[in-house]
Chain A
């Protein structure tokens, strides 16, 4: 009868997550319900296999990179806090937030942090630079077998040429931000909740 109680979310935890991520109370409980339904092992954490079981994610060409974004360096399990912290990047930026007291640290769903999420999808070895090789690998994931090595190589070269301003033949995070300065990041990297 009470065996589920230990895995339930306590009010204090919900408050902490609310402060950290900005999600509302009902959004947090709904996502918790989602988290537990994905957690087949029922041990309070998700593994990479738990994510791969979602068909729509499995057919996403960058599915593995996105799954990887949830796991901190070297770890194979992610708990609910980590899950929410990553999802928070996709919270829409509300207008009234800009008027509130400015938070002590940058919110997880700021434009910069959304761009950082995308940057890290490209940056395979997490060295804060996108090398030509890394760009090629990610491109290869997105196009599969449909484009030749030569063509893909020239696409990568052109991209780096356009973005690289300090001549080190790789794209740093600030160069990345510059390239995308006109893109509507706030809208394109946000997911609206239905309630």
Chain B
């Protein structure tokens, strides 16, 4: 029920007066705000999306056992055995594979980069990228099921997917070739980025350029217009979410005139939780945790391409794509911004609530005294 309906109901139960001639304010109005406030303290839709999903039954990984307590000797022995296997056998194997995969990627893309641009180069770049990503997939023991591959993104399009972890990139890129978008980093990441771009065009931005939205939009548009270039891979949520929901899609990618290929990625948390809680764990810590889980099991659905329709603006289009991804992946579709992981919610939302309530107090009178301490009169017609 909306704010207005609920407050009216509270007033109705407490008064015999005719509601059309209702008093402007009732002391009981506060009940609405109090109850809603305490409800959100008991449980809310947003904060739980930024920490790993809780499992119903334990999968023998300490990290997923939030309420650890001793159950039985047999279980502890099993857990100990699991620990040995995961850290003694699986982890060293996987780390070796990971180094091999990354090393080969850097080395081979640099070699491909020496060739002149043309079909031969594109062919080799494709093969090199796919091979190295597949090695990385093995390094994580990722067991991936791809659905509806006939909808795979094509050149000149934009691929959008929900974001749970950096592994999403490896999972998608081992099944198809994409142009990556991102900020140029220093260190090892930067080395990888710089050599990748030698083999085929990716879109890397300097830190300073990231803020310039027009520049970003222009580079993306230019890329999609060139049909010989690979489809761009973008994660519109802008941050990692814990794979139980899809949060607000930033509209930037949806403003560009291009076909959008939505992709839904759903991980099975029983074998290893892929969510990267970047405020709790750094990248290296995260990768080690990934490589010492049982496996990363996930499903990827390639959804049919979508385009912006007549009369639809970027935000509506973004929400439409988001709904399709949420539906396919079995995720909760939320309007909240993933940026709430780190930042505060904007004051405008509170101001909206205040506006709605004010409307109830002063009704629809046209001749009101001018506001002396605010930006202007709130016209109910415009609300």
User: Smallest Cβ distance from B29 to chain A, in angstroms?
Assistant: 7
Nearest residue (CB) in B for A40 is B279
Of A62, A138, A188, which one neighbours B10 at CB under 8 angstroms? Answer: A188
Per-residue contact bits, chain B 90-133, to A (CB 8 Å; 1 contact, 0 not): 00000000000000000000000000000000000000000000
Are B371 and A57 within 8 A (Cβ)? no
A82 within 8 A of B: no
In the bound complex, what is the Cα–Cα distance between A182 and B26 (angstroms)? 12
User: Smallest Cβ distance from A6 to chain B, in angstroms?
Assistant: 11
Q: Which of B61-69, B162-170, B179-187, B209-217 contacts A (4 or more CB under 8 A)?
A: B61-69
| Chain B residues positioned under 8 Å from A2 (CB to CB) | 68
In the bound complex, what is the Cα–Cα distance between A155 and B165 (angstroms)? 53
In the bound complex, what is the Cα–Cα distance between A100 and B158 (angstroms)? 65
User: Smallest Cβ distance from A147 to chain B, in angstroms?
Assistant: 5
User: Smallest Cβ distance from B346 to chain A, in angstroms?
Assistant: 9
In the bound complex, what is the Cα–Cα distance between A34 and B34 (angstroms)? 19
Nearest residue (CB) in A for B79 is A1
| Chain B residues positioned under 8 Å from A138 (CB to CB) | 30
User: Smallest Cβ distance from A169 to chain B, in angstroms?
Assistant: 16
Q: In B321-366, which residues have CB < 8 Å from any A CB?
A: 336, 340, 344-345, 349-355, 357-359, 361-362
Per-residue contact bits, chain B 24-58, to A (CB 8 Å; 1 contact, 0 not): 11011111111111111111111110010000000
Indicate whether A62 sits within 8 Å of B37 (C-beta atoms), given known contacts A54-B44, A55-B46, A188-B10. Answer: yes
| Chain A residues positioned under 8 Å from B10 (CB to CB) | 183-184, 188
Are B46 and A180 within 8 A (Cβ)? no
Are B42 and A149 within 8 A (Cβ)? no
Of A34, A144, A163, A184, which one neighbours B42 at CB under 8 angstroms? Answer: A34
Per-residue contact bits, chain A 16-41, to B (CB 8 Å; 1 contact, 0 not): 00000000000000010110011000
B191 within 8 A of A: no
A189 within 8 A of B: yes
Are B358 and A143 within 8 A (Cβ)? yes
Are A149 and B43 within 8 A (Cβ)? no
User: Smallest Cβ distance from A37 to chain B, in angstroms?
Assistant: 7
Q: In A133-150, which residues have CB < 8 Å from any B CB?
A: 138-139, 142-150
Are B37 and A188 within 8 A (Cβ)? no
Indicate whether A87 sits within 8 Å of B42 (C-beta atoms), given known contacts A59-B353, A118-B34. Answer: yes
Of B67, B350, B355, which one neighbours A59 at CB under 8 angstroms? Answer: B350
User: Smallest Cβ distance from B362 to chain A, in angstroms?
Assistant: 6
Are A142 and B29 within 8 A (Cβ)? yes
Are B350 and A57 within 8 A (Cβ)? no
User: Smallest Cβ distance from B73 to chain A, in angstroms?
Assistant: 14
| Chain A residues positioned under 8 Å from B41 (CB to CB) | 51, 54, 57, 66, 87
In the bound complex, what is the Cα–Cα distance between A158 and B369 (angstroms)? 18
Are A147 and B42 within 8 A (Cβ)? no
Are A90 and B35 within 8 A (Cβ)? yes
| Chain A residues positioned under 8 Å from B25 (CB to CB) | 139, 155, 158-159
B14 within 8 A of A: yes
Are B23 and A60 within 8 A (Cβ)? no
Are B31 and A189 within 8 A (Cβ)? yes
Are A146 and B374 within 8 A (Cβ)? yes
Q: In A161-193, which residues have CB < 8 Å from any B CB?
A: 163, 176, 179-180, 182-185, 188-191
In the bound complex, what is the Cα–Cα distance between A81 and B355 (angstroms)? 36
Indicate whether A62 sits within 8 Å of B30 (C-beta atoms), given known contacts A147-B358, A149-B372. Answer: yes
User: Smallest Cβ distance from B381 to chain A, in angstroms?
Assistant: 14
User: Smallest Cβ distance from B37 to chain A, in angstroms?
Assistant: 4
Indicate whether A66 sits within 8 Å of B47 (C-beta atoms), given known contacts A146-B358, A147-B371, A182-B13. Answer: no
In the bound complex, what is the Cα–Cα distance between A183 and B11 (angstroms)? 7
Indicate whether A145 sits within 8 Å of B374 (C-beta atoms), given known contacts A61-B354, A118-B31, A155-B24. Answer: yes
Nearest residue (CB) in B for A176 is B27
Are B30 and A118 within 8 A (Cβ)? yes
In the bound complex, what is the Cα–Cα distance between A53 and B279 (angstroms)? 14
Indicate whether A60 sits within 8 Å of B42 (C-beta atoms), given known contacts A55-B345, A155-B361. Answer: no
Are B13 and A163 within 8 A (Cβ)? no
B228 within 8 A of A: no
Are B23 and A179 within 8 A (Cβ)? no
A117 within 8 A of B: yes
20 CB-based A-B contacts, threshold 8 Å: A4-B68, A33-B66, A59-B350, A60-B36, A61-B354, A63-B37, A66-B33, A90-B35, A138-B30, A144-B355, A145-B373, A146-B371, A146-B378, A147-B361, A148-B371, A159-B25, A163-B27, A179-B27, A189-B34, A191-B39
Give me the interface of B with A, judged by CB distance under 8 Å. 10, 13-16, 23-25, 27-48, 51, 62, 66-69, 336, 340, 344-345, 349-355, 357-359, 361-362, 368-375, 378
The 9 A-B residue pairs with the shortest CB-CB distance, nearest first, are A144-B354, A183-B14, A145-B374, A146-B358, A56-B40, A66-B37, A59-B349, A184-B13, A55-B345
